[in-house]
Structure 1
Amino acid sequence: MSTTAVPLRPIAKGSLTRLWVGIAAVALAAGGLAWAGQQGVAASPAAFLSQNAGEDGVVTTESGLQYKVLEEGTGASPTTSDVALVGYKGALLDGTVFDENPQAPMPIDGVVPGFSEGLQKMKKGGKYRLWIPPQLGYGDADNGPIPGGSVLVFDVTLHDFKSKAELMQLQQQMMQQQGGMPQPGAMPPAGQ
Structure 2
Amino acid sequence: MRRRLAAAFIVPALMLTAACGGGDDDKKESSDSASASPSTEGAPKPVDAADPMPSVAGDAGKKPQITVPKGEPSGKFVVRTLTEGTGPVVQKSDTVVTKYTGKVWKSGKELTPGSYDDKGQPLMVTPNNPETLPMFAEAVAGKKIGSRVLVVAPPAAAFGAQGSQQLEIGPTDNLVFVMDLDRLMPKKADGTQASLPADLPQIKADKEEPAEIKIPKNDPPKELVAKTLIEGKGPEVKSGQTVYMQYSGAAWKINEGKDKATLFDSSWKAGKPFMTAIGQGQVIEGWDKGLVGKKVGDRVLLVIPPEQAYKDQDKGADLPANSTLVFVVDILEAV
The alignment's TM-score, normalised by the length of structure 1, stands at: 0.53
- Structure with higher Rg: it is 1
Picking from 31, 50, 61, the partner of 1:53 is: 50
Change (3 A) 1:80 1:171: farther
Paired letter, 2:95: V
Secondary structure of residue in 2 paired with 1:116: helix
Alpha-carbon distance between aligned partners in 2 of 1:83 and 1:172, rounded to the nearest angstrom: 23
Secondary structure of residue in 2 paired with 1:91: strand
Q: Say yes or no: does 1:113 pair with 2:134.
A: yes
Alpha-carbon distance between aligned partners in 2 of 1:92 and 1:175, rounded to the nearest angstrom: 45
Shift in Å, 1:111: 2.4
Q: Indicate if the aligned counterparts of 2:146 and 2:181 stay in contact, CA closer than 8 A.
A: yes
Secondary structure of residue in 1 paired with 2:91: coil
Alpha-carbon distance between aligned partners in 2 of 1:170 and 1:107, rounded to the nearest angstrom: 21
Shift in Å, 1:134: 0.9
Structure 1 residue aligned with 2:109 = 96
Change (3 A) 1:105 1:151: closer
Q: Say yes or no: does 1:167 pair with 2:164.
A: no
Paired letter, 2:144: K
Change (3 A) 1:105 1:138: closer
Paired letter, 1:169: A
Shift in Å, 1:132: 1.1
Shift in Å, 1:149: 2.1
Change (3 A) 1:180 1:169: closer
1:14-163 aligned at under 5 Å gives the runs 53-54=50-51, 64-93=76-105, 94-99=107-112, 100-102=114-116, 104-108=122-126, 109=129, 110-143=131-164, 144=166, 145-162=168-185
Q: Say yes or no: does 1:181 pair with 2:301.
A: yes
Structure 1 residue aligned with 2:238 = none
Q: Indicate if the aligned counterparts of 2:91 and 2:142 stay in contact, CA closer than 8 A.
A: no
Paired letter, 1:53: A
Secondary structure of residue in 2 paired with 1:160: strand
Paired letter, 1:69: T
Larger fraction in helix:
1
Structure 1 vs Structure 2 CA RMSD: 3.5
Per mean C-alpha deviation after superposition, the further-off stretch among 95-104 and 142-151 is 95-104
The alignment's TM-score, normalised by the length of structure 2, stands at: 0.32
Q: Where has structure 1 moved over 4 Å in runs of 4 or more?
A: 55-58, 170-174
Paired letter, 2:169: I
Shift in Å, 1:53: 0.5
Change (3 A) 1:56 1:101: closer
Segments of structure 1 that go 5 or more residues without pairing to the other structure are: 1-51, 59-63, 183-192
Alpha-carbon distance between aligned partners in 2 of 1:172 and 1:65, rounded to the nearest angstrom: 45
Shift in Å, 1:71: 1.3
The size of the alignment, in residue pairs, is 125
Seq. identity, %: 22
The one of the two structures with greater contact order (alpha-carbon pairs below 8 A, sep at least 6) is 1
